[in-house]
Amino acid sequence: MNGILVVNEFLHSNKFNEIHAWLVTAAKKQGIELQVRTNAELLIDIPIGRKDINADFILFWDKDVKLAYYLEQLGYPVFNSSKAIGICDDKALTHLTLMNAGIPMPRTRIAPMTFDNIGYTNYDFLMETAKSLGFPMVVKESFGSFGQQVYLVSDYGELARRVSQCGAKPVIFQEFIRSSEGRDVRLQVVGDRVIAGMYRYSENGDFRANVTNGGRMKQYEPTPEQCGLALQCCREIGLDFAGVDLLFGGKEEPILCEVNSNAHFKNIFDCTGVNAADAIISYILMRLIP
């Protein structure tokens, strides 16, 4: 059996290379040759299918959803699917997809779409959002990771400045879950199981718990309610594996923060000793040879 690990041509940091190497090693341990190819090497060519792909499956560790879709159209089993990756990559789409599934989540407003060369010429929607969500308010770029495009704004002036800095990029506005300030839970899901959990907390006063942002982490035994919520989100979105971030509500009940289709699993390994790469490869094998 052999597979292709699709990665992004233009991301070269160690942080990413390390995850790719772990996946290749995990595959090797299970007798699978996983060849690394970048999204630029597998350039989409329509309507001709590529002749240089020899794989029983594609492990898609990128967000180039058009390429994932193309590979699906060529008939390859792709993990995660292009649709699931697309829903996770866009935080607005994640909340929209889950809104009718009874998933507790922060009240969320999605900024109206505008155009690059125009931006926003009328801020009435922002005024209305300020009135309904109040302050402090969480502003997130729809496409962002590691907490780097997530902001807390404390008044209307800051909100307007932040939105104008984002230009025409899609953003969402969220109720600030104060009971979760500086802490959250990351659960690693593979198939229909939560394989590991960690509690992340910031000690530097930042409201974000991301480890990349200076947050600390410790091993965490998730409650059945947290596990149920994470698994339900993954099922609804159609994910094979994911990292699910949960906030703490006023009674410590879980509230969905976001779902990551290509979650960096090194931190959770350092924290718990659980190697998500092994579980992901076993899961793919199980799916291909039930």
Residue 198 in contact with ligand ADP, rule: CB under 6 A: no
- Residue placing its CB nearer to ligand ADP in the complex, 195 or 257: 257
Binding residue (CB under 6 A) for ligand ADP from 9, 44, 73, 144:
144
- Residue placing its CB nearer to ligand ADP in the complex, 124 or 203: 203
Query: Going along 142-253, which residue ranges are E strands?
Result: 150-153, 171-175, 183-190, 193-201, 216-219, 241-248
Binding residue (CB under 6 A) for ligand ADP from 63, 95, 109, 208:
208
Contact code string over 100-139 relative to ligand ADP, x by CB under 6 A: ------x-------------------------------x-
Two tokens at 84? 């699931």
User: Helix 91-98 to helix 82-89 angle, to the nearest 10 degrees?
Assistant: 110
Stretch that binds ligand ADP, among 67-75, 124-132, 158-166, 172-180 (CB under 6 A): 172-180
- Residue placing its CB nearer to ligand ADP in the complex, 114 or 213: 213
Give dist(CA 239, CA 132) in Å, integer.
33
Question: Which residues, other chains included, contact 37 with Cβ-Cβ below 8 Å and sequence gap of 6+?
Answer: 4, 5, 6, 7
Least separation, in Å, of the C-beta of 245 and ligand ADP?
Answer: 4
Beta 78-79 vs 57-60: how paired, if at all?
parallel
Contact code string over 178-197 relative to ligand ADP, x by CB under 6 A: --x---x-------------
Give dist(CA 24, CA 92) in Å, integer.
32
- Residue placing its CB nearer to Mg ion in the complex, 178 or 287: 178
- Residue placing its CB nearer to ligand ADP in the complex, 144 or 191: 144
Residue with tokens 């879950």: 177
Two tokens at 203? 């000690």
Give dist(CA 176, CA 244) in Å, integer.
18
Phi, psi of 179, deg, nearest 5? -65, -15
Residue 140 in contact with ligand ADP, rule: CB under 6 A: yes
Number of residues that bind ligand ADP (CB under 6 A): 21
Interaction site with ligand ADP (CB under 6 A): 106, 138, 140, 144-147, 150, 174, 176-177, 180, 184, 207-210, 245, 247, 257-258
